[in-house]
Amino acid sequence: MDSTNTNEVAHDFPPFIRVYKDGRVERLLGTETIPPTTDPITGVQSKDIIISQEPGVSARIYLPKITTNSTQKLPLLIYIHGGAFCIESPFSPHYHNHLNLLVSQANVVAVSIHYRRAPEHPLPIAYDDTWEAMQWAFSHKNSGGPEAWLNEHADFDRVFLAGDSAGATIAHNMVRRVGVDGLEGVKIVGIILVHPYFGNNEPSKFLDFIFPTSTGPDDHRIYPAGDSELSRLGCTKVLVFVAEKDGLNDRGKSYHEVLKKSGWDGTVEIVETEGEDHVFHLFNPNCDKADDLVKRMASFIKDN
């Protein structure tokens, strides 16, 4: 008789995931989803698209309210959600509502990427999926791609990347890859990193678990502070947000300082929100400080 207890826990990383010995993964947060809509307040439209069946990469695309028959091209925002690389999605109410607001205020077309998540798909798979999704978006640069909203409305000379927490980490890595490997026909103007989740000198069992092939503190994909190629970052503007009570506050500040001293030929700015914790703007979007953060993000895009 098999006495194996299927509820026996192999790995427990609250408040994110619990992995059982039979291989099941329980996500403790970030599982709720809502469908795409036309937002009644902002007029922003959204729809879901499949980028690749194998591997399974998809996205939610957003289009701001546009005057009928308008031919104006709008900046393109590539958004990468957070969630410790293992929870949340573009279809989460937090991210859907955040993108509706940001797209409306910044007047951008946005592609919010759904990458495969750890631990079923360990890092760097999320990085690879995000890169593939970006290449799909950029295939529309000559108005010949499969998605009409991108063909008709996206300006590929004004592309921005943004992400929060783990998504900010991925966003940085994507723009680094652009700088090192090159990218033809598309101009990445800037990136917005909200409360980035970079590694530091302290051991992390969680990072070891979700990124088993990482080489540790010398791995630029998690630890940009020691990256010899940081000066080749493929944009000219960077905006970093940190929150005073966030346990990752020092990592965002360290990134800001290291980037300034790297020899990178660009401008980096940092904004600290007093009295707030990690990604507060997603969980309390109606507070004044969340409103200020979104306005600052929008201004960064509109002014560059």
Q: Which residues are identified as catalytic? A: 165, 246, 278
Residue 143 one-letter amino acid: S
| Phi-psi map region of 88: left, alpha, beta (phi>0 left; psi -120 to 50 alpha) | left
Nearest to 185 by CA among 129, 137, 128, 231: 137
CA distance 94 to 207: 24
User: CA dist 13 to 94, 123, 170, 197, Å?
Assistant: 22, 16, 21, 16
Nearest to 88 by CA among 278, 245, 299: 278
The number of beta carbons lying within 10 Å of the beta carbon of residue 191 is 29
User: CA dist 10 to 25, 26, 121, Å?
Assistant: 10, 12, 17
